[in-house]
Amino acid sequence: MSAQNVGSSPDYIKALSADWKGERLADGRPKVSDNLLDRLQKLTLEEAWAELIELGYPNQFEGEWKLINESEEATMVGRAVTAQFMPARPDLEKQVREQGKVEGRAYDKATVSWAIPTLTTGDIYVADGYGKTVLGTIVGSNLGNGVFTRTGKGVVFYGYVRDMEDLRKIKGFNGWIKGSHPSYMRQTILTSINAPIRIGQAIVLPGDAVLAKKDGVLFVPSHLVEHVVLTGEVTKLFDVFGQQRIKEKKYTAGEIDSKWTNSIKKDFKDWVKDYKGQLPMSRESLDKYLETRNF
């Protein structure tokens, strides 16, 4: 008799992310390259979000967060490891613990820690704590240190944490959370690791690229990261070109902010050939993209 896994199998994760054609991690999640993640981090939320909407993925953003460490530079990117928490009930908890034992998890201890040993360098722990405040905190200082030690990153929780003063002392760690509370988790259980979850208005799959900024969090499907990054980078170039030409009074703001004429398109292509800045993409990638772009 088969039981529902707590941790998703590599085959299931591969099925969820079937459109991804690149390298995968040992657990089956897509391995979006560090280079693409670094480039994604330089985009604004609007630059990445706009293209996701065009591609038919409007449910990838969640805003209104509290940050563990507030700063002007607060940005985090990485690959999602997902976890789902639910209110506890005795029969469900019994099944979860029995299945956890089969999977080699710490079945005799609190399920709150089960996802942390699955984390690897570059991961972001993304968990749905269903917004529970009292007795629903997903990490405190001990588990927060455990997350950072394994990932070098932080967390995105649709839920609460505890030990905020000590969490702020973990250098390099940050978290996008809904709030904090001094209680520890009780009457709540983890029910799945690396399955699809809901984070507010967003849907998150294991291996999604996470772009967390002060104003919100965007979850980019792995197979779209390269396209979204390149489109955002070209949009930045359009803005640099357009603003320069407006200041030079060659075009009006209205002309730049509308569909470009053939003469403006040609001007941009000539301008980018002599661009003095550092292009974030290869010249070949840019030329290929411009061939299909309708400006």
Q: What are phi and psi of 269, to 5 degrees?
A: -65, -35
Whether residue 295 is predicted with pLDDT greater than 90 in this model: the reply is: no
Same domain, 68 and 99: yes
Picking from 197, 220, 243, the residue at the C-terminal end of a domain is: 220
3-33, pLDDT tens digit by residue? 789 999 999 999 999 999 999 999 999 999 9
Same domain, 131 and 207: yes
Query: What is the predicted pLDDT for the residue at 216?
Result: 98
Please report whether residue 40 resides in a domain: no
41-66, pLDDT tens digit by residue? 999 999 999 999 999 999 999 999 99
Query: What is the average pLDDT value for the chain, to the nearest integer?
Result: 95
Same domain, 102 and 191: yes
Whose CA is closest to 220, among 66, 89, 28, 45?
A: 45
Over pLDDT 90: what percentage of the chain? 89
Picking from 182, 201, 220, the residue at the C-terminal end of a domain is: 220
Please give the radius of gyration of the chain, using alpha carbons only, rounded to the nearest integer.
22
Query: What is the predicted pLDDT for the residue at 2?
Result: 63
Same domain, 208 and 230: no
Whose CA is closest to 156, among 209, 111, 192?
A: 209
Whether residue 212 is predicted with pLDDT greater than 80 in this model: the reply is: yes
Picking from 186, 220, 254, the residue at the C-terminal end of a domain is: 220
Please report whether residue 131 resides in a domain: yes
Please report whether residue 151 resides in a domain: yes
Whether residue 255 is predicted with pLDDT greater than 70 in this model: the reply is: yes
* Host domain of residue 235: 226-292
Over pLDDT 70: what percentage of the chain? 99
Same domain, 19 and 134: yes
Query: What is the predicted pLDDT for the residue at 277?
Result: 84
